[in-house]
Structure 1
Amino acid sequence: MRRFLTVAAIVVTGTPALANDSVAELGTGGLVLARSDSISMESEDLFLSRDRVTVDYVFRNGTDKAIDTIVAFPMPDIEGNPNEVPSIPDDRDNFLDFEATMDGKPLTPQLEQRAFAAGLDVSADLKAQKVPFYPFGDAVSDALAKLPQSIADDWLARGIIVLDEFDDGSGWKTVRRPYWQLRSTYWWRATFPAGKPVRVSHRYKPSLGGTVGLNFYGDGKFDGEYDAYKKRYCMDADFEKAVRKAMAAPGPEGNSPRYESRLAYILTTGGNWAGGTIGKFKLTVDKGYPASLVSFCGKGVKKTGPTTFQMTAKDFDPERDIDILFLDRPQDLDSGKGG
């Protein structure tokens, strides 16, 4: 049993809690140019899987002069909320293991981080008390435990921290927990020569959401979050038929026959380039396990291998982000061998 205490004068909202045994995915996308009115995106080759995201771009400066600008990769925001369970691949600053190249040469991006509580920048407060910005792990817990009481009271009143009260079997404990939001961005300065193509590639390990069982199907029928899932993942009749068949099969050791994995990719920032479209766009989705089911929104999607699906488009206008739903057999996940 546990409860979390905040001060009523400050209202901080979070996303709705998911079902039991669930973790929430963090939506991540591609690159953003500080100046884009003269630089077009000639092509984007996007590969999405549970293990990695890779993006290969070709940009072109359409002017007769070189353009110096900033290229940024916004990391997903992390909410230091003890009521939420985000999926974070790593516990260091580069928690997505992000890396990038430009014309084949490795880049060393700078990392910009800020902490916010109740909409206000509290980075200076955390720095002054030598509290790590990353809101999870032993380092931040130890730092918060050492705060002077007057500082802790102030941070509680401002919504920077909450008090986590719980009974661990030896009596009630009160622990200070982070409640700020961490915003992280990798960025670097780049030169785009006049009239020449520039190739930029980056890769990272995605944040995956997951649920033991299904949030949209139970007791032999579609219910729960079915309407939201159908819209978000474009579930069609063939997919729903496959779900019924899969969920009718017995699960191993009494477990659900299928577990959910969810991946979110923010694609709409692709409309920020000159012209607002992507000249040539290719999307490849790898579901990882041959027996897994997958559903996502796309036009003209074709199966290209035992686990891969692909769509291509010209003058592509990224009007919506990409959300992918994987339904896996527990025994495949336990084996750890996809593809």
Structure 2
Amino acid sequence: MRNPIPLVLATCLGLSGPAVANDGFGGLSSTGLTFGQTDAIAMVEEDLFIGLDAVRVDYLFRNITGSDITGEIIFPLPPIHVGGLMLSDWNLPDDLLGENLVGFTATVDGAPVRVSVDRQAVIEPPWEERGPASAAYDAPGRDVTADLQRLGVPLTVEPTVAVAALKAMPSATRARIAAEGLAEFYPSAENPDEIYPAWSIVLRYHWTQTFPAGADLRISHSYDHLPPGGIFVWQDPPKDDYLRQIADRYCVDASTSRGIARRLAGGSSGDGYFTGMAWNIDYVLRTANSWAGPIGRFRLTLDKGSERNIISLCATGIEKTGPTTFVIDKRDFVPDRDLQILIVSPLEN
């Protein structure tokens, strides 16, 4: 029997050379706001909404000290591999030249705030050398921002712009760039200028915020959700090692497994496998542990997008509140793991 590989986690980060495109598309994980470790500011409430197209978060913070506290509020995106964008489809906007890639907006006590965006270029370490998922949001790897700026290469995620800058370099500079691991060159008779940038771009949205002494402050932000996904293959029960790994990662129990098979029945290959589409949503919750104490009240609303979609994640206390929505409500919540959500859709959707 053949052993299909579901392309539900397809990204092209860390690729070391040319590769063919596949049926998966890359995308972006998400994280909460960071402020640095503090014992002065408590997260009283977090109301988080995650849908296929949007993420919205409302926070209520409280300064539990007698002094004003000022610092930088940061919302980081995970690294975006510029060369990887050339090798596979990505769930990103058509225009990659815009400053605000995900349409991020924020308000403080209902009033819009001016959010700055900075960019850092990094050479990420191999997958096997990377730390836990939440650590990946702190610009992992070697910082090559100054190197690219010295060479006149724009800090953009648009690969055509980066490649054009590299093509304009003299051959001696290209050789030095290759030796430093900044890019890979694959000249051939057909394409003497085949170039793959090796760096990733980290975008950070941030602003300076003062938390008044002893007072509450409500901060809200929203942005376009651009998760990865692709063609999804399932069997019930999952017997292949890779499918069992998916079941473990997203806590796909026997009932959910049967539900996925029934929902994808129209995509049956006739040999026990079922084909559909899937999105893989990661949201880093453990950044909340950098604030003082537990989250007083945590409310998560999930929207699977369509009544025909199947959702699965590792969580307790999930209540269905509508045709496509589910809610988790917790008190004095200390996140000990990040959210990993699987949404499966029939091909006809």
User: How does the TM-score come out when normalised to structure 2?
Assistant: 0.82
Q: Which runs of 5+ in 2 are unaligned?
A: 1-12, 125-140
Secondary structure of the corresponding residue to residue 183 of structure 1 = strand
Aligned match of 2:75 in 68, 73, 84? Answer: 73
Aligned with residue 322 of structure 2, among 293, 302, 305: 305
Within the candidate set 7, 30, 55, 1:53 is matched to 55
Shift of 1:141: 2.2
Give, in whole Å, the separation in 2 of the partners of 1:144 and 1:89: 23
Counterpart residue identity of residue 296, structure 2: G
Alignment of 1:217-296 (within 5 A): 217-218=234-235, 221-250=238-267, 257-275=275-293, 277-296=294-313
RMSD (CA atoms) = 2.7
Residue type of the partner of 2:207? Answer: W
SS of match in other structure, 1:249: helix
Find the aligned partners of 1:199 and 1:223 in 2 and give their Cα distance.
47
Of 193, 197, 202 in structure 2, the residue corresponding to residue 178 of structure 1 is 197
In structure 2, C-alpha distance between the alignment counterparts of 1:219 and 1:239, rounded to whole Å: 10
Aligned to 2:46: 44
- Whether the aligned pair in 2 keeps the contact of 1:61 and 1:67 (CA below 8 Å) is yes
Indicate if the aligned counterparts of 1:77 and 1:184 stay in contact, CA closer than 8 A: yes
The 1:18/1:251 distance shift into structure 2, 3 A limit, reads farther
Partner residue of 2:220?
201
Gaps of 5+ in 1: 1-11, 333-339
Displacement of 1:27 = 1.9
Q: Distance in 1 between matches of 2:37 and 2:309?
A: 41
Q: Give the TM-score normalised by structure 1.
A: 0.84
Deviation digits for residues 113-144 of structure 1 (CA, Å, limit 9, x no counterpart): 11123643221221223212124332222212
Pick one of 136, 143, 156 that aligns with 1:134. 156
Q: How many Å separate the matches in 2 of 1:103 and 1:163? A: 51
Amino acid at match of 1:94: N
Q: Per-residue deviation at 1:191? A: 0.8
SS at structure 2 position matched to 1:153: helix
Cα gap change, 1:250 to 1:178, in 2 (>3 Å): closer
In the alignment, the residues of structure 1 paired with residue 344 and residue 187 of structure 2 have an alpha-carbon distance, to the nearest angstrom, of 36
Partner of 1:103: 109
Q: Which 10-residue stretch deviates more, 304-313 or 148-157?
A: 148-157
Q: Which moved more, 1:47-56 or 1:77-86?
A: 77-86
Contact kept in structure 1, 2:82 and 2:159, CA below 8 Å: no
Pairs aligned (count): 312
